[in-house]
């Protein structure tokens, strides 16, 4: 470990329990990336906030686990929910890993994976855990409630209300 890495590790492992400067920087990086990419549905911001070697450990089926996959997903949501916006909830940091809770809000006015526009408002909740290096996201793991989304669009029945 180099002297710089040792200093970074000491900064992020504060014995006082206070959030370190590195942790705050990482939390701000994640907030900005979520806001710019998903809050504004801005594909051009992906390269700014995600490293060239970025790996998505939980890509949606049919999406590549890299920056191109994120761009494809953002484009899909921008077409389906052009007025979409993101609310960022809790953001927690431990070393180079940052976690955030978020809610995506939007009106379904465009086609979404074969689902015709429903004009329904949706609120899609999720969690992300990202590893950040040099001010960019290098890895991420997401948990997004797609079932909730399909219920709100009316394409699946809530539990206990299935077809009889």
Mean pLDDT, rounded, for 19-38: 91
Is 158 inside any structural domain? no
Whether pLDDT at 2 is above 80 = no
- Other CB atoms within 10 A of residue 143 CB: 12
pLDDT value of position 11: 41
Residues making up the chain, counted from first to last: 164
Distance CA 136, CA 30 (A): 8
Is 163 inside any structural domain? no
Q: Is the pTM above the cut of 0.85?
A: no
More confident site: 121 or 60: 121
Q: Are 139 and 130 in contact (CB under 8 A)?
A: yes
Q: What is the rounded average pLDDT for all residues in the chain?
A: 88
Q: Taking the CA atoms of 151, 154, 155 and 157 in sequence, report the sign of the dihedral they define.
A: positive
Q: Are 110 and 118 in contact (CB under 8 A)?
A: no
In which domain, by residue range, is 144 found?
Answer: 3-11+19-153
Is 162 inside any structural domain? no
The percent of residues above 70 in pLDDT, for the chain, comes to 86
Is 160 inside any structural domain? no
Distance CA 123, CA 89 (A): 13
Lowest mean pLDDT among 38-52, 55-69, 147-161: 147-161
Distance CA 37, CA 44 (A): 8
Q: Looking at residue 103, which CATH number applies to its domain? A: 3.10.450.50
pLDDT digits (tens, 9 = 90+) for 80-115: 999 999 999 999 999 899 999 999 999 999 999 999
pLDDT value of position 16: 45
The total of structural domains in the chain comes to 1
Strand order in the sheet with 50-56: 50-56, 136-144, 121-133, 97-107, 85-94
Is 164 inside any structural domain? no
Is 41 inside any structural domain? yes
Burial class (CB in 10 A: 0-12, 13-18, 19+), 138: middle
Question: What does DSSP assign to residue 39?
Answer: I
């Amino acid at each position: 470990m180099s002297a710089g890495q040792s200093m970074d590790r000491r900064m992020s492992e504060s014995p006082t329990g206070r959030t370190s400067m590195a942790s705050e920087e990482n939390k701000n990086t994640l907030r900005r990336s979520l806001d710019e990419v998903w809050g504004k549905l801005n594909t051009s911001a992906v390269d700014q906030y995600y490293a060239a070697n970025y790996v998505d450990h939980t890509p949606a089926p049919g999406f590549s686990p890299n920056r191109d996959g994120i761009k494809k997903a953002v484009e899909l949501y921008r077409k389906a929910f052009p007025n979409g916006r993101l609310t960022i909830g809790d953001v927690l940091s431990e070393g180079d890993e940052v976690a955030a809770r978020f809610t995506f809000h939007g009106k379904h006015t465009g086609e979404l994976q074969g689902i015709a526009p429903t004009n329904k408002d949706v609120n899609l909740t999720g969690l992300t855990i990202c590893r950040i290096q040099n001010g960019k996201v290098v890895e991420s793991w997401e948990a997004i409630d797609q079932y909730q989304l399909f219920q709100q669009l009316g394409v699946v029945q809530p539990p206990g209300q299935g077809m009889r």
